[in-house]
Amino acid sequence: MSFVAYAMILAGGVGSRLCLLSEKRAKPAVPFGGKYRIIDFTLSNCVNSGIFDVSILTQYRPLSLRNHIGIGRPWDLDRKRGGVELLQPFQGWTENDWYRGTADAVWQNWHRIAERESEHFLVLSGDHVYRMDYRPMIEAHLERGADATIAVAEVPIEQASQFGIIRTDEAGWVTEFLEKPRNPPSGKISMGVYVFRGAALFQALESDAEQNTGHDFGKNILPAMVGRGRVAAYPFVGYWEDIGTLDSYYRANLDLLRDDPPFPLVDARWPIFTPSTESPPARIGARAHIRSSIVTHGTIVNGTVERSVLFPGTVVEEGAVVRESILMGETWIGPGAVLDRIICDKRVHVGRDAVLGTGPLIPNRSCPEHLSSGITIVGKETRVPEGIVIGKNARIAPDLVEDDFPAAGVASGDVLERGSGAPSAPAGQTRR
């Protein structure tokens, strides 16, 4: 039968370039845009495209993803037939191993694909922000009789080296697939959105499984399939952002705040679904100033907020100033605190009159390649002490308490971990 009604979403990656954000959760579970998680975009694309049978392959820190997806009710994926399931690595009678790569994850779960009636199916990535109707791509795939069809987006050539580059002939067949080349020949890149003919993918995965490769779709499977023949390209036009790095995460969030956003969250024809938290409407106080920002349910704003994204339950007290920052759920910003270009993970507590994101622009010393544009990041549930000064490109670990911070503050580019704060001062004698 030639129809496509099943999708596998790859959601197992560590996402190390997101630094702290993915330290406690898988990349697709990273909060985005005020109330979403990154995987919501792909899941919503599936159901809006009429695909209600979805498996999500997880491996790294799946708990927050599991909590988020639940039985799939927000996406209407709590179904008797189909629905959503999370596939975690497991111990079997003969094989037992962690997934060795994205291709291995699909290979180890091949029985789930084999059970489906459809001959073709989708393989998607769980960490992209985009709206896409998969149906025209599926139609093109079936019409051409392709073994695989790759959705292709165009990015500025200087960014292209982070992606798989696609070269096609005039008819749109892929002639070359270069994974993350140093000098990309063009900005035509693979979006990590594929339609496969089951038998063709089975062959490719089977031979890959026996070889000593990275077992990766981009590095191994697609280049091998291109060598063998019928791989088509499908051009995608529209907003597409791979939330691979802290900078791209930050940029994609701030893009939402433009008066003419390239990716509007509101689109009645293509809604993005997510579990809504049970909280009251945002409460905006008499002395609040809010400009170009996203506010969500449960937030309370009495201070100044500019060009920022406030997730549910965020509180900005009077006299506090929050600029170009992303504050995840239930963060508290004390009176008089000033934040510039800060990403606060969930349940961070910023003491009164603390100043975050000031000083010279020095790249972070532990991850200079990912933390150099001036963003300071504060890990989950950390309590930032009153009146402290924290520089730019700093990285503050999760779960710290006030006494973990040195009285002199945290300089630009510094990393603060538990115990690295005030090495000589005995506990309780640090400050105040």
The site for other proteins (CB under 8 A) is made up of 33-35, 74, 256-257, 259, 261, 265-266, 271-274, 276-298, 300
CB of 338 to other proteins, least distance (A): 20
b/e per residue, 127-150, with b = 16+ CB within 10 A? bbbbbbebeebbebbbeeebbbbb
CB of 48 to other proteins, least distance (A): 12
Q: Residue 102 phi/psi, 5° resolution?
A: -65, -40
CA gap 348, 333 in Å, rounded: 8
Of residues 230 and 297, the one with the C-beta less far from other proteins: 297
Q: Which residues contact 161 (CB under 8 A, 6 or more apart)?
A: 180, 181, 182, 183, 184
Of residues 207 and 277, the one with the C-beta less far from other proteins: 277
Of residues 172 and 275, the one with the C-beta less far from other proteins: 275
CB of 376 to other proteins, least distance (A): 23
**Ligand-binding site membership of 99 (annotated):** yes
Q: Which residues contact 115 (CB under 8 A, 6 or more apart)?
A: none
Q: What tokens does 83 get?
A: 């629905």
CB of 276 to other proteins, least distance (A): 4
CA dihedral 305, 306, 312, 314 (to 10 degrees): -30
Of residues 281 and 419, the one with the C-beta less far from other proteins: 281
Of residues 102 and 296, the one with the C-beta less far from other proteins: 296
CB of 277 to other proteins, least distance (A): 8
**Ligand-binding site membership of 158 (annotated):** no
- Which one-letter amino acid corresponds to residue 384? V
CB of 270 to other proteins, least distance (A): 11
**Ligand-binding site membership of 206 (annotated):** no
Count the Cβ atoms, other than its own, within 10 Å of residue 113. Answer: 20
Of residues 58 and 331, the one with the C-beta less far from other proteins: 331
CB of 421 to other proteins, least distance (A): 31
**What three-state secondary structure class fits 20?**
helix
Of residues 286 and 427, the one with the C-beta less far from other proteins: 286
- Which one-letter amino acid corresponds to residue 151? A
Q: Which residues contact 377 (CB under 8 A, 6 or more apart)?
A: 19, 20, 21, 246, 342, 343, 345, 371, 394, 395, 396
**Sign of the four-CA dihedral 203, 206, 212, 216:** positive
Binding residues: 99, 164, 179-180, 190
Binding residues for alpha-D-glucose 1-phosphate: 99, 164, 179-180, 190
